[in-house]
Amino acid sequence: MPSALTPSPAFELKGNLLSLLVLRIFQNDYDVLCAQLLEKLTQAPQFFQNAPLVLELHTPEPLSFSLNSLVEFLRQHRLMPVAIRGGNLEQQAEAIKLGLGILPEAKEKSSRREATPNNAAAKIITQPVRSGQQVFAPHGDLIILSTVSAGAEVLAHRHIHVYGTLRGRALAGVNGDVQARIFCQHLDPELVSIAGQYQISDDIPETMRGKAAQIYCEEEQLKIQVLEPYPR
């Protein structure tokens, strides 16, 4: 038997699937990279503020600028780099000096669904999700029988269904399920995201606003499809 003096556990250490932004770097021009990043960050500042981020270093040629300069730029603009993926041994050593982790190469996305239980219960919300509120369904679908106000955020392990107007932010497949979808009766969001692929309000055509729609991923691109009513 354990002694009565044995202390209770002070912590639990386990692996988990978390939603992280991934910055894939395609070219070596530091000024162009920073200018394009700054333009993207100003489009949805609340979404990016203090967001953890992984740097993917898969450029055809070695970076012509230091990793330190890029990390400093990101931190100045309130992003939180936590790790790198890829890169050479020199870049990985520099990352460790900067307090970043080294992640293994990503697995094929088709294997990500195995983390989703088939019988996971949906989370059902009957009241409006108001500005400043966040609702998260960590194991299955999120079903909202009302509206999602501007300034509100809804997240789900799998699908999100909004039987009203979606005006806030909706993030489905937050643990990497690229087959997750978002459905809503009236589309007018600040941001929609599936498995890390996202679009902000300015990216959505005016012809789709106010329509019933579904959002899904196809070939690593976010797609929005207006749902036409079925004839009676």
- Classify residue 65 by its DSSP letter: S
pLDDT digits (tens, 9 = 90+) for 130-150: 998 999 998 899 999 999 999
pLDDT digits (tens, 9 = 90+) for 39-55: 888 877 777 888 888 89
Quick one: pLDDT at residue 3? Answer: 55
Count other C-beta atoms under 10 Å from residue 78's C-beta.
Answer: 12
pLDDT digits (tens, 9 = 90+) for 191-200: 899 988 888 8
Quick one: pLDDT at residue 172? Answer: 93
At the fourth CATH level, which superfamily is domain 21-106? ACT domain (3.30.70.260)
pLDDT category at 166 given cuts 50, 70, 90 is: very high
Mean pLDDT value across residues 72-91: 89
Mean pLDDT value across residues 22-43: 85
Q: Quick one: which of 60, 176, 40, 54 has its CA closest to 114?
A: 176
**pLDDT exceeds 60 at position 35:** yes
pLDDT category at 82 given cuts 50, 70, 90 is: very high
Q: Compute the distance between CA of residue 163 and CA of residue 160 in angstroms, rounded to an integer.
A: 10
Q: Which residues contact 159 (CB under 8 A, 6 or more apart)?
A: 141, 142, 172, 180, 181, 182, 183
Mean pLDDT value across residues 76-84: 91
Q: To which residue do tokens 């503020």 refer? A: 49
Q: To which residue do tokens 């932004």 refer? A: 21
Sheet holding 101-103, edge to edge: 21-25, 51-57, 79-86, 101-103
Mean pLDDT value across residues 198-226: 89
Weakest-pLDDT range from 14-18, 32-36, 102-106, 171-175: 14-18
pLDDT digits (tens, 9 = 90+) for 83-129: 998 888 888 889 999 999 988 876 544 434 444 455 568 999 999 99
CA distances (Å), origin 15, targets 18, 86, 142: 10, 21, 24
Average pLDDT over the chain, rounded to an integer: 84
Mean pLDDT value across residues 173-185: 91
Beta strands 197-200 and 191-194 are antiparallel
Kindly list the domain boundaries of the chain, sorted by start residue.
21-106, 115-226
Quick one: pLDDT at residue 112? Answer: 45
Instruction: Pick the most confident of 65-69, 185-189, 216-220.
Output: 185-189
Domain 115-226, CATH 2.160.20.70 — does that match? yes
The residue that leads in pLDDT, 46 or 188, is 188
